[in-house]
Amino acid sequence: MKTYVPKDFYHRIYEVVIQIPEGRVTSYGAIAKYLGAKGSARTVGYALTISKKENIPAHRVVNRNGMLSGKHHFGSPDIMQRLLESEGITVKNDQVMNFKNLFWDPSHFLDLSH
């Protein structure tokens, strides 16, 4: 089996995140699971931390509770919520309302709500 390049891990994460439809959100665990590294949800978050230099809509990624756990990494705690609300997502108490409905699973990759 070909030795997989760890650096590719970051790239995969970005590839998934940038494909999150506008007005939708997903979780770190879902992305990690999609990448085949179910237990590396933390690593996904870490990858998004350094994704600031990339064009990554990291604000669409929250934890499995739908909570904006990473809002503090946007420079200002209000930026993440502001971006989400800008896409039609209601955020209350650092928590995505109707999260279950807005959740976008990368495994589907295509929106099934047609």
The footprint of DNA (CB under 7 A) covers 6-7, 9-10, 27-30, 37, 39-52, 58-59, 61, 63-65, 69-70, 72-74, 80
Burial readout 38-51 (b: 16 or more C-beta within 10 A, e: otherwise): eebbebbbebbeeb
> Which is closer to DNA, CB of 80 or CB of 89?
80
Output b/e per residue, 13-30; b: 16+ Cβ within 10 A.
bbebbeebeeebbbbbbb
CB of 36 to DNA, least distance (A): 8
d(CA 17, CA 24): 11
Residue 53 or 114: the one with the smaller Cβ distance to DNA is: 53
Q: How far is the CB of 105 from DNA (least distance, A)?
A: 12
CB of 60 to DNA, least distance (A): 8
**Least Å from the CB of residue 6 to DNA:** 3
11 or 109: CB nearest DNA: 11
Nearer to DNA, 92 or 114 (CB): 92
Q: Dihedral sign for Cα 36, 42, 45, 49, please.
A: negative
